[in-house]
Amino acid sequence: MSVPEHVAIIMDGNGRWASQRGMPRAAGHRSGARAARDIVETAREIGLKTLTLFAFSSENWQRPRAEVRLLLDLFRRTIRREIGSLHDNGVRLSFIGERSHFSDALQREMAQAEERTRDNAALNLVIAIDYGGRWDIVQATCRIARACAAGEIAPDDIDESCFGEHMSLSALGAPDLFIRTGGERRVSNFLLWDLAYSELYFSDELWPDFDKASLSEAVDWFAHRQRRFGRLPQAAAPGG
Ligand code: IPE
Ligand code: IPE
Ligand code: MG
């Protein structure tokens, strides 16, 4: 059975989970953060190399200010609380997204968490925060344009591999398996470049309910996919 190396998840449905229980959306987001912690633990157990979690999109700034504040506070508190045990468990933490919109203090904490865990190798945990797939393509284009202007890259040398190196995930590689919880069948401006050949898995479970068994089910589903990348299926071995 093939285990995906890189799983990327849109953790959707916190608000609906709370409304179904007559609770404020904040309670759904808190339960969502706990679910994320458990999924990181399961990812290590399964032996994933990389787990990318979508925590806050470029478009989520358009939610009411109180919800935006709550989500960013929860993010900060969760990182503070979990960083010690993530580090002890060999997790390398990194963030992708336009972090310049955050306060200097939060940006500093994010950089410190990345620095502290940079030599860990058990699991790459990537948190996409203030992230958008279109933003990522534009920031890669800007960096390449600057390198061209500085004479470091010739325009004719720009190819998919050069472009990919300037995308946020670059060295971590593309997700093998994409999961979205919460019932919607859309990508919502997540990893537009990187999802080109990912297997797409949609779960109707709301994110706070997505547990160890749910992730194992998705990973089992992945193991039965035949990935062709545009080629023909591999012929069975002679005699086999
Ligand atoms: C996902 O849950 C969390 C974020 C987008 C930050 P939602 O808040 O989108 O929950 P629903 O989709 O409204 O249920
Ligand atoms: C996607 O969920 C973003 C995150 C989970 C962080 P949304 O709830 O923002 O997506 P839409 O609005 O349903 O497309
Ligand atoms: Mg949603």
CATH number of the domain that 113 lies in? Answer: 3.40.1180.10
Measured from the Cα of 60, ligand 2's closest atom is 9
Lining ligand 2 with CB less than 6 A are 10-12, 54-57, 60, 184, 186, 188
Question: Residue 231 carries which side chain, given as an amino acid letter?
Answer: R
96 within ligand 1 shell (Cβ under 6 A): no
Q: Which residues pair with 223 in a beta bridge?
A: none
Concerning whether 124 is annotated as a catalytic residue, the answer is no
Note whether residue 152 is domain-resident.
no
The Cα 78–Cα 84 span in angstroms is: 11
Note whether residue 145 is domain-resident.
no
Closest CA to 43 of 197, 177, 200, 193: 177
Handedness of CA 185, 191, 195, 199 (dihedral sign): negative
Note whether residue 86 is domain-resident.
yes
Question: Residue 225 carries which side chain, given as an amino acid letter?
Answer: R
Note whether residue 169 is domain-resident.
no
By CB atoms closer than 10 A (0-12, 13-18, 19+), residue 152 is exposed
Residue 9: how many CB atoms within 10 A of its CB? 27
* Alpha helical stretches, state H, the chain: 14-20, 25-46, 65-88, 104-117, 133-149, 160-165, 212-223
Nearest protein CA to atom 10 of ligand 2, as residue = 188
Q: Give me the pLDDT at residue 221, please.
A: 98
Closest ligand to residue 74's CA = 1
The Cα 146–Cα 139 span in angstroms is: 11
Note whether residue 103 is domain-resident.
yes
132 within ligand 1 shell (Cβ under 6 A): no
Find the 154 Cα to ligand 1 centroid distance in Å: 43
Q: Give me the pLDDT at residue 234, please.
A: 78
Q: pLDDT tens digits for the chain (240 residues)?
A: 699 999 999 999 999 999 999 999 999 999 999 999 999 999 999 999 999 999 999 999 999 999 999 999 999 999 999 999 999 999 999 999 999 999 999 999 999 999 999 999 999 999 999 999 999 999 999 999 999 999 999 999 999 999 999 999 999 999 999 999 999 999 999 999 999 999 999 999 999 999 999 999 999 999 999 999 999 987 665 654
* Tally of domains in the chain: 1
Cβ atoms of 140 and 167 closer than 8 Å: yes
Concerning whether 189 is annotated as a catalytic residue, the answer is no
Find the 240 Cα to ligand 2 centroid distance in Å: 46
User: 117 lies in which domain range?
Assistant: 6-132+174-223
Measured from the Cα of 10, ligand 2's closest atom is 5
Note whether residue 237 is domain-resident.
no
Helix axes 65-88, 25-46, angle to 10 degrees: 30
